[in-house]
Structure 1
Amino acid sequence: MLWLLLLQVWASCLWLGHSELVPLFVNCLEFFYGDTPPDAAMKPQNPAWICQTLNNQRFFATLYDRQKRIPMYSAYKYEPGKFHTNHTWTVEPQLINDSLPQDMYTVQALERAYNITRAQIMQSQAVSADYENSGWDRGHLNPNGHHNTLASRNATFTLTNIVPMDKKLNRGAWKKYEQQTMRQKTKKCQNDKIYVIVGAVPGNSSIAGGRVNVPSHIWSGACCKTRNNTVSAWAAIANNKHNRIWKISLGHLEKRLAQLYGMQNVSLFHDDCPRNVSLTS
């Protein structure tokens, strides 16, 4: 099986050249536990595998749905710092044309630097204006407060890391999970060995005249190496219409996602991550 995976990676690299939109995240596997991304169960029809890059530095990985204009999930290493909300929203030039830079740009800077039109930018991704007066928050999958440097926090403000999220959920139960529950869950983990994947299940409604899908559910899974060199995992899921979170095991989350996606199985993490137990909070 390993040689088949390597062959697929090699063939993908030949096809896509030097772009960061590389299937299987071969250039940013370090954001996944055991260098193992989720399986293909959640892959959209028109996917983009993004190594999220700011100032030529990679900070996390995102599987993006160009058609629905939302991320399927973002994967990162948990290194908590201060939350802040004053960074400018950015977009991904590489979604327009893989010859464009890998770095994030503001819409205005991208238009000026490369003579790109607003319509070209909007064709394959959401822009901040899509969320204005929509009634929905710009909800981070990878939250800026889970990073401990200004650069890594700023990198989370790309629109490819954002979904329409219920305001009460985003500012209430989900925020509590991000800021309080995650700190409690990670107390026994090695600080540099905590891996998180946060995702969104596409729903049946949209904003911005049908441009941006509104997810039906938001979910989070985590796996870490403990200070005792054991492995622990935990998860959570929320309906994107209610201010409530269900804290569950990783195995329970995978089964629930399989149901929501109509798949037989979903695998989010490396096999070492336990499916039916979690750290106590």
Structure 2
Amino acid sequence: MNRSQQDRVVRKRPGKVRLQCLSVLGIALAFPAWAAPTQCGAHYWAGAAPDIVNARVASQTREVCFSAFGVMHSGVTRTPLWSAEHLTRERLDAARDMSRVNNFHSEPALPLTERAELKDYVRSGYDRGHMAPSADMPDARAQQESFSLSNMVPQNPENNRYLWAGIESSVRYLAQQRGDLYVITGPLFKGAQLTQLNGRVMVPSQLYKIVYDPRRQQASAYLATNEATGDYAVVTVADLEKLAGIDFFPEMPARVKSTLWRLPAPKAHEGGRKRDPKMPSYREINTVLDFLRTLLN
């Protein structure tokens, strides 16, 4: 185990009880919320990590603290439930000078039975999709850590390389403009027919990226299906929390959570590859959100 691995904080998520009724993984039941102190406080606004509002989702969760982002990892899905970052102008200036290393690796700090392995993704047809992007990482250590599979979900290749890459670029540009943003990125697992890679790693049905500007008190989230599509929605934090069953910002005022901030459209990102002509160009729609809302009714 190298020094950076030794320095990580990995802790199983304990909890305290608070009854609520929300739907996560497609099941609407009353379960306790799981809230606990975090060791990754530097990556969260006000030092407060999200609260999980479903015992089923909270099962086998472990917090993994990296140098530039924090992960809540699920041993059930073998993916992150979320990855959190504090993006600043200075951090992104430093990240511009970093070269992508592409050193994907399993996370040695997690138990073998709970973590994804490289072989799980082989010939799966899915990309290893970063939640905290490698292009956000300000130094070599953070760049290396971002390629941990604890920061990855199985992602549709066209989605990952075009729409999602465009969303990531737009958030970086916004952070450069605003100077200080908190970002939480993660998967949703909705519906009765969920796929698993190698019978182990669960494939998300949707992906989200929450952006919060604490100085201007503005917050919203990008939401997209995990498919070869250019369609996405911008939703309020309050709506996303209902869908995910997670209180992403426990200290955020309710009025901020319920107010829609029109986030910028994804930046064009062709990456030198020809776009699939069947894939629509980026367009903001309500279909994604409307579909997910039906699961709560």
Instruction: Report the TM-score, using the length of structure 1 for normalisation.
Output: 0.70
Correspondence list, 1:92-111, <5 A: 92-96=107-111
Give the number of the structure whose residues are more often helix, by fraction.
Answer: 1
Q: Is residue 198 from structure 1 mapped to residue 185 from structure 2 by the alignment?
A: yes
Distance in 1 separating the partners of 2:188 and 2:12 = 22
Report the Cα offset of residue 76 of structure 1: 1.2
- Taking a change above 3 Å as real, the CA distance of residues 60 and 158 of structure 1, as seen in their structure-2 partners, is same
Cα RMSD, aligned residues only: 2.5
The separation in 1 between residues aligned to 2:63 and 2:11, in whole angstroms, is 5
- In the alignment, does 2:108 pair up with 1:90? no
Q: 2:197, 2:263 → 1: CA distance?
A: 41
- Shift of the 139–224 alpha-carbon distance from structure 1 to 2, 3 Å rule, reads same
Structure 2: distance between partners of 1:126 and 1:73: 15
**161, 165, 174: which is aligned to 2:164?**
174
Indicate if the aligned counterparts of 2:83 and 2:151 stay in contact, CA closer than 8 A.
yes
TM-score normalised by the chain length of structure 2: 0.67
Corresponding residue number in structure 1 for 2:200: 211
- Structure 2 matches for 1:16-95, cutoff 5 A? 20-23=10-13, 24=36, 26-41=38-53, 43-52=57-66, 58-78=67-87, 79-80=91-92, 81-82=95-96, 84-95=99-110
The aligned residue for residue 224 of structure 2 is 238
CA distance in 2, matches of 1:257, 1:242: 25
Unmatched 5+ residue regions in structure 2? 1-7, 14-35, 265-297
In structure 1, the gaps of 5 or more residues are 1-17, 53-57, 97-120
- 1:115-141: CA deviation from partner (whole Å, max 9, x where unpaired): xxxxxx3x2110111111000000000
Q: CA deviation at 1:249?
A: 4.1
SS in structure 2 opposite 1:171? helix
Per-residue CA distance 1:87-142 (angstroms, 9 max, x = gap): 3223333322xxxxxxxxxxxxxxxxxxxxxxxx3x21101111110000000000
1:258 aligns with 2:258: no
Cα 1:132–1:185 change in 2 (3 A) is: same
Q: Answer with 134-143 or 58-67: which moved more.
A: 58-67
Identity value in percent: 21
Q: Distance in 2 between matches of 1:60 and 1:189?
A: 19
Question: Number of matched residues?
Answer: 222
2:134 equivalent in structure 1: 144
Q: Secondary structure at the match of 2:212?
A: strand
Amino acid at match of 2:144: N
Structure 2 CA distance, aligned partners of 1:277 and 1:47?
30
